[in-house]
Amino acid sequence: MIVKVRVIPNCDDNEVISRIGKVLRVRVCASKDDNEINVILRQYLAQFFEVREKCINIVRGLRGKEKTIEITGKSESELEDIINTIP
């Protein structure tokens, strides 16, 4: 499944704060260093979607706040169910 993520850095806690369709807004407790943000984002999304970290692949946006993420390791319907729990 492909999802778009809008990253909000320099927060106190990692969390998905909202979604619009398949665009997730994610707070990340990392500085504005792109590499650090990407590492923490992958770790957090793997935990959030209950998949291994290697199942989270940043397809586009390695250096920006808008990222395209590919999630594997679970079926589309399982991932949709998780996404639908986000307010």
Which CATH number belongs to the domain containing residue 69 in this structure? 3.30.1200.10
Mean local confidence (pLDDT), 57-76: 94
Q: How confident is the model at residue 77, as a pLDDT?
A: 93
Report pLDDT for 21: 81
- Residues 41-73 as b or e (16 or more Cβ within 10 Å = b): bbebbbebbebeeebbeeeebeeeeebebebee
Which domain covers residue 31, as residue numbers? 2-84
Domains: count for the chain: 1
**What is the pLDDT averaged over residues 7-24?**
90
CA distances for 76 relative to 12, 13, 27, 62, 82, angstroms: 31, 27, 24, 24, 10
Mean pLDDT of 66-79: 95
What's the whole-model pTM score?
Answer: 0.91
Residue 78 banded pLDDT, cuts 50, 70, 90: very high
Residue 34 pLDDT grade (very low, low, confident, very high; cuts 50, 70, 90)? confident
Reported confidence tier of residue 24, pLDDT bands at 50, 70, 90: very high
Model confidence at 31: pLDDT above 90: no
